[in-house]
Chain A
Amino acid sequence: MSKEPVAVVGIGQTKHVAARRDVSIAGLVREAARRALDDAGLSWADVDAVVIGKAPDFFEGVMMPELYLADALGAVGKPMLRVHTAGSVGGSTALVAANLVAARVHGTVLTLAFEKQSESNAMWGLSLPIPFQQPLLAGAGGFFAPHIRAYMRRSGAPETIGALVAYKDRRNALKNPYAHLHEHDITLEKVMASPMLWDPVRYSETCPSSDGACAMILTDRTGAARAPRPPAWMLGGAMRSEPTLFAGKDFVSPRAGRDCAADVYRQAGITDPRREIDGAEIYVPFSWYEPMWLENLGFADEGEGWKLTEAGVTELDGDLPVNMSGGVLSTNPIGASGMIRFAEAALQVRGQAGEHQVEGARRVLGHAYGGGSQFFSMWLVGDRPPDS
C-alpha cells in the first residue's frame, strides 16, 4: 500500500517572549493557528482535525488543556488529539498529524504546540517530589552537564566550542523576527565571560524560558496543489524511544537518536547526510549539544562533530548551516520548541525563511529530543514531493 504524500502549506508562530501577559493560553495558541491558516490561504472550516502538543500539564497548571482549548482552535465538531512525549513533543505532534494525512484519514490537519511558561514555574513543574526518587531540583542543566563533560573528555574538544555555538545561534536569532532573545550587542567574549551555571555550561550557553506557540497546516496532494505558496514536502519522519536510565545507555550519543535518524534517511533515500542535506534545525538547549547531535545524526564521525562547529561549517553561511533560526538557545517555549525546529526546516525549503534563509535549501532536517535524551522525533522536508 502507498502512503499519501504530506505537504506543509502553512506555518505560524507567535513572537516568542519571556511573558505574554497580554493574552490567555487560548489567545496565544489562536494567534499561531491564525497565522498558519493565513499562510495556507485557508479558513477554520478547511481544517479536518487538530493535533496539539505541549510538555507537562504542570507547566501551566491545566490538566489536559486540549479540552479547554477546543473552542480557541476551531476544533468543535472535529477530532482533536493531544500528544505528550516530553521535550520531543513538538516534533512528535507534527508526526502524529502527518500520519493522519499519510493514512488518508484526513485531508487537512492543523497541528500546534505551545508553552506559556510565564503562567507558572517550569522548575517547580519538574520538581514535584515522589518517594525514592531524586527530584530534579537543579533543572535540566544539572542533568545534562555531566554528559557534556563526558563528550568533551571522549572527543578531546576544546573548551571554546560551546561558546562558539551560542555566539552563532544568538547572532542567527537577530535575523529571525519571532526569536525570543535578540541580543544586539552579543560578542564571543561576552558569552565566555557569562557566569558558570552547571560546569561547563555558562549562562549564555543555555536556553531561555519563553511563552510561545507554533502551528502548521499539513495537507495531502490535493491540498498542496491549491496552496498559494510553495509547500514543503515530508520526505521522511520517525520517532524512537529508549529507557531513561540503564547500565548500557550512552548519554553522549543515544542509540534511539541514531536509529531515528537512520530511519528518516532510509525513508528519504539519503545515503550521505553531510552532502545531501542543506541545513538542520537541531534541538540544542545547551550549546554543547550541537557538536554532540551532529555526530548522533550522522553529519560527522564520532568525536568529530566539534570540528564542524569550529571550522564554521554550521554558521548561517557555512556548508551545513545549523539552527538558522537561532534555535532553542534563543527561543524555548518547551512544548513548542520541537515543532519550531520542524516548522523552521519547512520554512527553509519553501524559501520563506526571510533574513535567515539558506540560499537554495532543498532538503532540511528538523530534530527534537526529550526526557533524559530518550525520546527522539525527526523529519526531513524537501522542496519537491517524494519520488519526484
Chain B
Amino acid sequence: MMFLVLRRLAQAFLILLGVAAITFVLLYALPADPARMIAGRSATAQTVANIRHELGLDQPLLVQFWHYLTNLLSGNLGRSYAQKTDVWTLIVARLPATLTLMLAGIAVEVILGLTLGTIAAIRRGGFVDRLVMMASFVGVSAPQFVVALLLLYVFAVTLGWFPMSGYGTLAHVVLPATTLGVLGAGWYARMVRSAMIDVLNQDYVRTARAKGLSSRRIIFRHALPNAILPIIAMIGIDIGQFMGGVVVVEAVYGWPGIGQLAWQAIQQVDIPIIMGVTLTSALAIVIGNLLADLIAPVIDPRIRTR
C-alpha cells in the first residue's frame, strides 16, 4: 500500500510537470501578445516593449519556463497580468466555492445515479427500466446551459424556492449542484445498471438466493458493493472535471469559482492565471485518481490481492 502511494505520488509529480510544460508551450505559442493586451490600444511600441521586458517575455522560452518552474517549486504561481495580484491568492479565494459545488454536485449525481441505476437493474426490461434509461439518455446529452436555465426558471423564477444566483447559503448551492448532478447522474445510472445486472447474474448471487436471503439483503449487502467499483473510479475523474469544467454552471448561477476565473483569464490572455488554474485542475485530477485507487482496495478485497 505504501509502495502504491509512493509510486502514484511520483507519477503525479511527473504528470504535473508534463502538464506545466505542455500548457506553457501551448500558451506561449498563441498568436496573441499579452504585453500588447496589457499595454492597451493607445500604447506606443516603446511601452509595449517595456512591459514585455518587465514580464520577462523578451527572454527565450526555455529561460521563461525555467523561471516558472523554479517559482512553482517554491509555491509561487506568479502574478496575474491583468489584475496585478498573486495568482495563488486569486485561486485560493475561489477554491472554496468550486470545492463546495464539486462535492455537492458529486453527492447529487452519486445518490441519483445509484438509486436510479439500481432500480433499473432490478426492474430490468420493465417500464421503470426503460423510463430511467430514457431519462439518463436525456441527462447525458442535454447541454449544461439549457438544464441550468431550465432549473433556474422553474425553481427560482417561477416557484421562487431558491435564489437565482449567488453564493453563501445552502439554498444557493441546490440549483447549481442539481444541474451538475442531473447531468452526471445519467452516466452513473447507466453504469450502475449494467454492473448490477452483471453482478446479479453471478453464481454467488444465485447461491445467496437459493439460501433464502431477502432481496434487499442480496442487493445491498452483496450486489451493490461489487457494482460500486466503477463509480469510485468515475468520482475520481469527476473531481478533476468539475474543478476546471464547470464554467457554464458557474456562469449561469453567478457562482464565484475557478471556472469563472479561468474563463476571464482566457479572454484576457492572462497566462499566469490560465497556467495556475490548469495546474490546480491537473492536481485535482491526480488527487482524485489517487483517492480512487486507494479507496478501491478497501471496498473490494480482490484488488488488494492482485
To the question of whether A and B form a pair in one complex, the answer is no
